[in-house]
Amino acid sequence: MANKSKKGYIKIDTELCKGCYICKTACPENLIFVSDKLNSKGYYPVHYSEEETEIDKHLCKGCALCAIVCPDVAIEVYRE
């Protein structure tokens, strides 16, 4: 039986994000980036770089470090 590596993904509520970017620093895979679009509150929120990528090709392991450090509770973590 092959050792299948863990796969995960995150969803970011860009309207809750106030652009502190702590999650960006916490991500061990560097998968969180600053958006070039403002949210309705005038902040540049973060976005997850693997949103359009198939789950089998994700680098995200679902470690949840980003969600743990987010002071705005704007990140949900999913594991497959």
Local confidence band at 1 (pLDDT 50, 70, 90 cut-offs):
very low
CATH code linked to domain 8-79: 3.30.70.20
- Categorize the per-residue pLDDT at 4 as very low, low, confident or very high, splitting at 50, 70 and 90: low
Q: Given this model, what pLDDT does residue 80 score?
A: 86
What's the pLDDT at 77? 97
Cα 43 versus chain centre, distance: 17
Per-residue tokens: 35: 């958006």
- 5-53 pLDDT, tens digit each: 789 999 999 999 999 999 999 999 999 999 999 999 999 999 999 999 9
Residue 58 has pLDDT above 90, yes or no: yes
Domain definitions of the chain by residue range: 8-79
